Amino acid sequence: MIKGSFPIQKFENIQTPFYFYDTELLNKTLACIKQESGKYNYKIHYAIKANANETILDIIKQEGLGVDCVSGGEIKAALKAGFHSNDIVFAGVGKADWEIELALNADIFCFNVESTAELEIIDQIAKRLNKTAKVALRINPNVDAHTHSYITTGLNENKFGINLEQLQETIQLINRLDNISLIGLHFHIGSQITDMSPFQDLCIKINDIQADLKKTGITVSHINVGGGLGINYQHPNHIPMADFETYFKVFHEYLHLESWQTLHFELGRSVVAPCGSLITKVLYIKEGTTKRFAIVDAGMTDLIRPALYGAYHHIENISSDKDFEKYDIVGPICESSDTFAKDYFLNETHRGDLLAIRSAGAYGEIMASKYNLRELPKSFFL
């Protein structure tokens, strides 16, 4: 089995656990995104919630991507990282008044609005600040992303977006609001989508919606199809990048756009997940009666995805080339869900070995917590 290449000598003096980011892979990924989306002049916003590490943001900003924010804190981080306010879109079902005010004062590109109640508040605040808020309506297209129920967002039963039946009345409301300008439609159907058919379904739905709106004389300049492109967590060494070529081509082939319309994307995971690994040290090998445990110094506080939604991460012992043995790989936190993998084959493992938990660049470091009063993991770049 081939392994990732890690500068293991350089790791010796770094306190574990820590996030290791492969900037070469990040740059390659960004170059690929730029090339494939550039073919069709698509506009890419990086979903900053996936990873807001300052060095990562700096690299992404240099490639000229915009940002997708879901909180006031993220807007602040994006501005601090040097992203242009006109490249910022702001989504979220529960925008607080101060966050709306911050976004209006920063003159961001667009609010992705999720309810009529929110529209009225944005209008009020914009009036007070003497601004006009540019908005895209987040529509719930009722498309099944066939992904984990916690990360499926585009079904009627989800809390996200405006249901199609309520679209006309929402637009009528906007016509009555003086400080709101409708510039776009927004969609986001879920995350970790690796099969292209939900994206095709989404395109077809958007075509229908646009055709219906046109009948009532409504057109918008911006269509935003969100993010959700998945990566291959099983084989990070063989498939280190999402298939951006096919992904953008699906939209080119299935979505009907007018020449004056711009298509926007909000990619998070597919940009940053592959380039990050959580490096952790083995503290103990514990022989149970039916199991052998590799107890490591990283826990669910450093990477919560396995505990939160049973997510799979490929794990390698980067210190050992011995024969494979079966382990449960567990952390030190006082929760049974603090398990990275069960019955997992690692090269024979001993105390002091380093394990790399792969594809952890998205929803890893950013979700770290101090539970058990642990220190937050640091990061290391190469």
Ligand X SMILES: *Cc1c(COP(=O)(O)O)cnc(C)c1O
> Is residue 189 a contact point for ligand X (CB under 6 A)?
no
- The residue among 205 and 269 lying less far from ligand X, judged by its C-beta, is 269
> Is residue 191 a contact point for ligand X (CB under 6 A)?
yes
Q: Closest distance between ligand X and the C-beta of residue 205, in Å?
A: 17
- The residue among 273 and 296 lying less far from ligand X, judged by its C-beta, is 273
Question: What residues numbered 141-170 form the site for ligand X, per CB under 6 A?
Answer: none
Q: Closest distance between ligand X and the C-beta of residue 265, in Å?
A: 8
Q: Closest distance between ligand X and the C-beta of residue 267, in Å?
A: 5
Q: Closest distance between ligand X and the C-beta of residue 151, in Å?
A: 7
> Is residue 49 a contact point for ligand X (CB under 6 A)?
yes
Q: Closest distance between ligand X and the C-beta of residue 23, in Å?
A: 19
Partners of residue 224 on adjacent β-strands = 186, 264
- The residue among 136 and 167 lying less far from ligand X, judged by its C-beta, is 136
- DSSP run (H or E) holding 289: none
Question: What residues numbered 322-381 form the site for ligand X, per CB under 6 A?
Answer: 362
Could you tell me how many residues make up the chain? 382
> How far is the C-alpha of 178 from the C-alpha of 127, rounded, in Å?
8
| 79: CB partners within 8 A, 6+ apart | 85, 88, 106
* Candidate list 95, 188, 205, 305; residue touching ligand X; CB under 6 A: 188
Which x/- pattern, by CB under 6 A, does the window 201-230 give for ligand X?
Answer: -------------------------xxxx-
> How far is the C-alpha of 196 from the C-alpha of 239, rounded, in Å?
17
Structure tokens at 193: 């989508």
* 148 HSE (CA, 13 A, CB side): 13
Would you give the distance in Å from CA 90 to the centre of its chain? 14
> Is residue 69 a contact point for ligand X (CB under 6 A)?
no
Neighbours of 310 (CB within 10 A): 11
Q: What is the DSSP letter of 335?
A: S
Q: Reduced to 3 states, what is the DSSP secondary structure of residue 168?
A: helix
- The residue among 22 and 266 lying less far from ligand X, judged by its C-beta, is 266
- The residue among 229 and 354 lying less far from ligand X, judged by its C-beta, is 229
> How far is the C-alpha of 271 from the C-alpha of 175, rounded, in Å?
37
- CB 291, CB 316: distance < 8 Å: no
Binding segment for ligand X among 250-258, 260-268, 304-312, 365-373 (CB under 6 A)?
A: 260-268
Q: Closest distance between ligand X and the C-beta of residue 362, in Å?
A: 6
- The residue among 140 and 270 lying less far from ligand X, judged by its C-beta, is 270
Structure tokens at 285: 């090998």
Assign 3-state DSSP to the chain and report helix, strand, coil percentages, each to 5.
Answer: 35, 25, 40
Which x/- pattern, by CB under 6 A, does the window 266-305 give for ligand X?
Answer: xxxxx-----------------------------------
| 92: CB partners within 8 A, 6+ apart | 70, 71, 99, 112, 114
- DSSP run (H or E) holding 357: strand 354-357
- The residue among 7 and 94 lying less far from ligand X, judged by its C-beta, is 94
Task: For helices 167-176 and 116-129, give the axis angle rounded to 10 degrees.
Answer: 20
- DSSP run (H or E) holding 138: strand 133-140
Binding segment for ligand X among 20-28, 47-55, 241-249, 292-300 (CB under 6 A)?
A: 47-55
Q: Closest distance between ligand X and the C-beta of residue 230, in Å?
A: 7
Partners of residue 355 on adjacent β-strands = 280, 317
Site size toward ligand X (CB under 6 A) is 18
> Is residue 315 a contact point for ligand X (CB under 6 A)?
no
Binding segment for ligand X among 25-33, 45-53, 208-216, 240-248 (CB under 6 A)?
A: 45-53
Q: Which amino acid is at 255?
A: L
- CB 315, CB 280: distance < 8 Å: no
> Is residue 198 a contact point for ligand X (CB under 6 A)?
no
Q: Closest distance between ligand X and the C-beta of residue 189, in Å?
A: 10
Where on the chain is the footprint of ligand X (CB under 6 A)?
47, 49-50, 68, 70, 91, 188, 191, 226-229, 266-270, 362
